[in-house]
A and B are shown apart, each in its own frame.
Chain A
């Protein structure tokens, strides 16, 4: 963008400021306006740079504290008492199991709800607009409340914490995200495509699944992957549902370890090796989450 030229100041002003009128020299007021523009530009570039710097600082802190802890033993041994050379294997597996199960629950329901909103819930459908609004509300609800909710719903009645309730909490977290991206992506499919399908005599469900969903599959996958990334780093809802576990457990009905919970428990510990494990876990979680995000963003740009 070219810099807007500050106009030659009015002769009236120049005449006041200067005895020899030079029409093309900016007057005092014009100088001030340009100064202000300059200051605003510098300030806003600085504001953006601070945000970039924060990201760099976070990554640097994670790398410098966590990288030394990454070893084969950390990845393959289970958590243990301080000084016993424990690792994070059970937390990693617990995280994978819970997010995997959560995705299995949230993805089909989220897809179908998204399809409903886009294909049946266009203009004039009040039920759909309420669902849309509620999905947004659920998306902005603090994640800790989702933990409390699932605690009341699944932990209190059964009397114990479980990996399953952790997965449900994560699924509730991911659901609105999947719903809204699915709807947005399906809306991008041109109406002509639906009409063409209907004209060939295909049933509506066939048109929706084999034409609309197929042509929007890339965007829908993006939404699901972003939901996965969001679930991977969530701590607060798991705190009240799957609780965490020091031993290797793949039983969904018992308390289960997960990386974020392990980080939370170990970060404040007073044992050197536990704190080290927390940083290593933080490094793993962050780079996993960022990797998904970067992949999605790069692939969706084409």
Chain B
């Protein structure tokens, strides 16, 4: 064997080893998600089998009697996320419209970067900020006002009443909205930027105003991408923990008022965990909650991916 062929043999051997090493790392990523879902499912198994369907429909979370139902945190998560989306989507849409079509390129790049910094702020800081600024504002101005004016309105009244403490679903919704708006904005900027310039120019050529171009050309063209962005933001709002823990009030009850303290899936896990010894039914219930949260997050990602993939 000549030295050349020996070295090329060794080289091929090393290439195989290198490829194998990379493959193992890729496998590790798969194993992590698999392990995550598996451990949540096995950890929550005890709660699922003990309570059955009542686990989802019962609103009483009672550590004293060791009986757990998760209706209250599920509703809390659903409502606070819905409020957050109602605020965040128009805000993100407007910001993206501003950055892509209204502002000059230079100005847009500065503002865009600054808004992305907002996405980098740790979530616990949002919690402290919300507790410091939004909670007193709601308690002092918004709640007394709504209490006074809407108390006797049928149907709507119960939604806005309650003691003016400031913490609760609406407060969480507001803080969640400003947390996820930068994410939605970033994706929407990409989506809007991908609209073929010829379409927009044609609209202007026909005499459309900028807004008409936006809502008759850009929005229909990028509808799927926008919905994908919104669902992605929703996934983030669903699992947000630390910020919500500060401002939701953490009471596991079910009721009509949007201003009353409630709890969400993630905040309940964070708060109840320290008091739940390993192996207890309580911890198992928290794991089951975690499993449900994981499912919700996975479903929202798959949904977002399908909607975004359609256009491209």
Contacts and interface: CB of A to CB of B under 8 A. Distances in A.
B9 to A, nearest CB: 11
Contacts of A36: 209, 211
Given A58-B129, A145-B290, A116 B25 contact: yes
B39 A149 contact: yes
Contact of B211 (A37, A54, A121, A175): A37
Interface in B104-150: 111, 113-118, 120-129, 131-133
Contacts of B91: 47, 50-51
B29 A134 contact: yes
B102 A44 contact: yes
Chain B interface, DSSP helix/strand/loop, else mixed: helix
Interface string A226-242: 00011011111001100
Interface in A203-243: 203-205, 208, 229-230, 232-236, 239-240
A47 B124 contact: no
A144 B241 contact: yes
A5 B207 contact: yes
B165 interface: no
Contact of B209 (A34, A45, A65, A236): A34
A43 B94 contact: yes
Contact of B290 (A115, A144, A204, A235): A144
A46 interface: yes
Given A47-B95, A203-B14, A297-B113, A138 B32 contact: yes
B266 A282 contact: no
B5 to A, nearest CB: 13
A72 interface: no
Contacts of B115: 48, 51-52, 55
A83 B297 CA distance: 43
Interface stretch (A11-19, A74-82, A85-93, A259-267): A259-267
B117 A141 contact: no
Given A137-B298, A142-B239, A33 B209 contact: yes
A61 B132 contact: yes
Interface residues of A, number: 91
Contacts of A176: 29
A233 B122 contact: yes
B61 interface: no
Contacts of A40: 97, 210-211, 214
A179 B25 CA distance: 10
B18 interface: yes
B204 to A, nearest CB: 5
A267 B239 contact: no
Kindly name the residue among A40, A51, A138, A240 whose own CB sees the greatest number of chain B CB atoms within 10 A.
A51
Given A4-B210, A41-B102, A47-B95, A131 B30 contact: yes
Interface residues of B, number: 90
A116 B27 CA distance: 10
Given A148-B287, A297-B113, A140 B242 contact: no
Nearest to A285: B122
Contacts of A137: 33, 297-298, 301
Contacts, number: 259
Contacts of B269: 144, 148
Contacts of B207: 4-7
Nearest to B90: A47
B123 A235 contact: yes
Contacts of A179: 29
Contacts of A44: 93-95, 97-98, 102
A117 interface: yes
A70 interface: no
Contacts of A52: 111, 114-115
B26 A131 contact: yes
A153 B35 contact: yes
Interface stretch (B50-58, B156-164, B230-238): B230-238
Contacts of A48: 94-95, 98-99, 111, 115
B212 interface: yes
Contacts of A138: 29, 32-33, 36
Interface string A140-179: 1111111011001100100000000000000010011001
B17 to A, nearest CB: 8
A140 B122 contact: no
Given A62-B125, A141-B294, A55 B114 contact: yes
Nearest to A264: B124
A112 B29 contact: no
Contacts of B95: 44, 47-48, 51
Contacts of B25: 109, 112-113, 116
A25 B197 CA distance: 30
B86 interface: no
B121 A286 contact: yes
A114 B111 CA distance: 31
A156 B283 CA distance: 12
Given A62-B125, A148-B290, A289 B238 contact: no
Interface stretch (B68-76, B178-186, B220-228, B252-260): B178-186
13 contacts: A37-B211, A48-B115, A51-B91, A55-B115, A121-B26, A142-B241, A145-B40, A145-B297, A148-B39, A148-B290, A233-B121, A235-B241, A267-B128
9 A-B pairs closest in CB distance = A142-B239, A233-B122, A47-B94, A44-B94, A116-B22, A37-B209, A40-B211, A112-B25, A48-B95
Given A55-B121, A236-B266, A260-B124, 4 more contacts: A48-B94, A52-B114, A62-B125, A141-B239
